Amino acid sequence: MYKILVSDKLSEKGLNILKENKEFKVDVKTGLKPEELKSIIAGYDALLVRSSTKVTKEIIDASSLKVIGRAGVGLDNVDLEAATNKGIIVMNSPSGNTISTAEHTMSLMLSMSRNIAVADKSMKSGEWNRSKFTGVELYNKTLGIVGLGRIGQAVAKRAMSFGMKVIAYDPFISKEAAEKLGIELVELNKLFSDSDYITFHIPLTEETKDLISAKQIPLLKKGVRIINCARGGIVNEEDLAKAVEEGKISGVALDVYVKEPPKDLALAKFDNVVLTPHLGASTEEAQVNVAVEIVEQVRDALLGLEIRNAANFPSVDTQTYKTLQPMFNLAEKMGQLMGQLAEGRINGVDVIYSGEISKFDTTALTMSVMKGLLTPVLKDTVNFINAISLAKERSIKVREEKSSESEDFTSLIILKVKTEKDKYLVAGTLLTKKDPRIVKINGFYVEAIPQGNMLIIYNLDKAGIIGNLGTLLGKYNINIAGMTFGRLNKGGEAITVLNIDSAPSKELLDKIKKLKYIEEVRAIKL
Ligand code: NAD
Ligand code: MLT
């Protein structure tokens, strides 16, 4: 019998699926303090959570869990690395709350445009004030959608039915895919300058943090209205408050915050700001959907039937997984590296397996490559299972090739990516059959450890470069843990790959770029 702990409130309809099955014993214990959870976790095979329970390394280390299931999308509350290191499968249910979040976005747009929340408050205080609450129509307005994934597309459909013109920015969706939806893809600055409403449906990443802050506000149309139902921090709360104060922005609607619950939110004082406490997925239907979805996934994983929507495990049988485990790791890291290296919309991906590895069924390795490649973009919504179909939806052609010959390595994976801007290549192998190494980046042979923070620097092969780099990184207190070089010919084009102990700031990257003989620098986080 499998013991399952449910530590956040989950819909009964989902829980009944487990309770009615004799293979499972389900304990529902919500509101546990971290130390209480830690003290009881050891006896359980699976843990089911929403977003309140923080599944930290401490909890994971104290457990002998086989599966952690998150009802919903965000895995911000689960230490994925600690779970992976302990061999625990972590799964989420990314699609059950799409409609609810899209509808919430529309509710916020309407509420903000027609002053619903403030008018309601005014009436309830005994007032009858019609002129104060004159609003604006959505009809004929331009809606700029940043992120045309599940929720972005659902919002687009609904907005079009209101007669809005929809434009979108999503560097990972093809023009054809957007056109099929009747949406024009534009560059971000054009979206900023042309939109009457801007809504965000993207994950929070280094790249999407503060996507609208003081720097971008001058680019916005005067009177724009901004909605964020995705993740706190994509828009800068303080900078938006200033722009609302100055009249540049006519309305803001937020469902998510940098800190939840937020403290001393400057935006809260304005009548033209609508705030909800992270309610996007809080509908009866979405809660049933995500609970049923996750419960069925956890049930099937525990019973050894199938692993779906796993954030950290490919779906293969246990024996193949054990044999190929270090290769999975290498493949995912290569994908992640490529995802941060390649610029522009991806059109095609070729994965070439040569040497010993070509004898195996490599489908799951390609899934790992694709998961790695799309993770910088899709974060928690991409997993081993859906990576290839998500690529297809984005019109990315994925091709596998095999060759039993591998001149210098026992096994070699070559990853080639074609974007609208350029072509890129990363090749990787295992040293002593377990330590991943990147052995080629574009035309350059290297020997780099794909791990942690890295700098990939394109430079000319001239004396003094290493000294200059070392001095500059030293000034910023950044320790170099590893270094490798590659050059095409003496004195010509070269590459320098550094493993560093902490992330470089933007200021440092700008300074590196200005060093003599340096042509380009890319910060990579694996
Ligand atoms: P999704 O993965 O289906 O779509 C995300 C889209 O963002 C993708 O198409 C991707 O290509 C695009 N993208 C990534 N980086 C981008 C960038 N820098 N610029 C432009 N586009 C970029 O995800 P989804 O299911 O639509 O969810 C979107 C967001 O909504 C997620 O952050 C999710 O956590 C959040 N969410 C919030 C709630 C809520 O309660 N408020 C509920 C569900 C989901
Ligand atoms: C999600 O990540 O699924 C949403 O933000 C809602 C939730 O936290 O449940």
CA of 200 to the centre of ligand 1 (A): 8
Is the CB of 224 inside a 6 Å radius of any atom of ligand 2? no
Is the pLDDT at 318 greater than 60, yes or no?
no
Asked if residues 462 and 355 have their Cβ atoms less than 8 Å apart, the reply is no
What is the longest distance spanned by two Cα atoms in the chain? Answer: 83
Segment 31-51, tens digit of pLDDT:
999 999 999 999 999 999 999
Beta-bridged to residue 251, according to DSSP, are 225
Beta strands 165-169; 184-185: pairing state: parallel
pLDDT of residue 317: 62
Picking from 95-104, 380-389, 437-446, which range would have the lowest pLDDT averaged per residue?
A: 380-389
Is the pLDDT at 417 greater than 80, yes or no?
yes
Asked if residues 523 and 499 have their Cβ atoms less than 8 Å apart, the reply is no
Find where tokens 């992270």 sit. 278
**Ligand 1 atom showing the smallest separation from residue 95 Cα:** 25
Q: 452-526 in CATH: which number? A: 3.30.70.260
**Ligand 1 atom showing the smallest separation from residue 208 Cα:** 18
DSSP category for residue 106: H
Can 114 be counted among the known catalytic residues? no
- Nearest ligand, CA 104: 1
Give the CATH architecture of domain 2-94+286-302. Answer: 3-Layer(aba) Sandwich (3.40)
pLDDT of residue 117: 97
Which tokens in the block code for residue 215?
Answer: 């720097």
For the whole model, what pTM was predicted?
0.80
pLDDT of residue 380: 85
Can 260 be counted among the known catalytic residues? yes
Mean pLDDT calculated for residue range 470-476: 95
- Dihedral of CA 230/233/238/240: which sign? negative
Q: Would you place residue 489 in the very low, low, confident or very high pLDDT band (cuts 50, 70, 90)? A: confident
Of 264-278, 304-318, 344-358, 406-420, the range with the highest mean pLDDT is: 264-278
Asked if residues 321 and 384 have their Cβ atoms less than 8 Å apart, the reply is no
Is the pLDDT at 321 greater than 70, yes or no?
no
Catalytic, out of 104, 150, 158, 278:
278
Segment 323-352, tens digit of pLDDT:
777 899 999 999 999 999 999 999 999 999
CA of 72 to the centre of ligand 2 (A): 5
Q: How far, in Å, CA of 5 to CA of 30, rounded?
A: 9
Picking from 118-122, 134-138, 364-368, 507-511, which range would have the lowest pLDDT averaged per residue?
A: 364-368
Mean pLDDT calculated for residue range 64-79: 94
**Ligand 1 atom showing the smallest separation from residue 282 Cα:** 40
Segment 455-465, tens digit of pLDDT:
999 999 998 98
Per-residue exposure over 498-513, b if at least 16 CB sit within 10 Å of its own CB, e if not: bbbeeebeeebeebbe
Is the pLDDT at 275 greater than 60, yes or no?
yes
Catalytic, out of 225, 231, 308, 394:
231
Neighbours of 7 (CB within 10 A): 25
Q: Would you place residue 319 in the very low, low, confident or very high pLDDT band (cuts 50, 70, 90)? A: low
Picking from 386-390, 411-415, 485-489, which range would have the lowest pLDDT averaged per residue?
A: 386-390
Picking from 35-44, 194-203, 308-317, which range would have the lowest pLDDT averaged per residue?
A: 308-317
> In 56-132, at which residue ranges do the beta strands (DSSP E only) sit?
67-70, 89-92
- Nearest ligand, CA 71: 2
Q: Give the H or E element holding residue 326.
A: helix 318-341
Cα distances from 375 to residues 312, 333, 370, in angstroms, run: 11, 10, 8
Is the pLDDT at 407 greater than 80, yes or no?
no
Phi-psi region of 144 (alpha: psi -120 to 50; beta: other; left: phi over 0): beta
Q: How far, in Å, CA of 24 to CA of 285, rounded?
A: 25
Q: Would you place residue 377 in the very low, low, confident or very high pLDDT band (cuts 50, 70, 90)? A: confident
Q: What is the mean pLDDT of the chain?
A: 94
Report how far Cα 186 is from the mean position of its chain's Cα atoms: 21
Nearest residue to 450 via CA among 467, 430, 436: 436
Q: Which CATH number fits domain 98-275: 3.40.47.10, 3.40.980.10, 3.30.1330.40, 3.40.50.720?
A: 3.40.50.720
Pocket test for ligand 2, best of 75, 95, 278, 287 (most atoms within 8 A of CB): 278
Sequence ranges of the domains in the chain: 2-94+286-302, 98-275, 314-450, 452-526
Angle between helices 12-19 and 284-302 (to 10 degrees): 20
Mean pLDDT calculated for residue range 500-522: 95
Domains 2-94+286-302 and 314-450 agree in fold = no
Neighbours of 217 (CB within 10 A): 18
Q: Would you place residue 29 in the very low, low, confident or very high pLDDT band (cuts 50, 70, 90)? A: very high
Class of domain 314-450: alpha beta
User: Helix, strand, or coil here: 390?
Assistant: helix
Mean pLDDT calculated for residue range 144-161: 97
Q: Would you place residue 142 in the very low, low, confident or very high pLDDT band (cuts 50, 70, 90)? A: very high
Percent of the chain's residues with pLDDT above 90: 81
Ligand 1 atom 32: residue of nearest CA: 203
Q: How far, in Å, CA of 476 to CA of 9, rounded?
A: 46
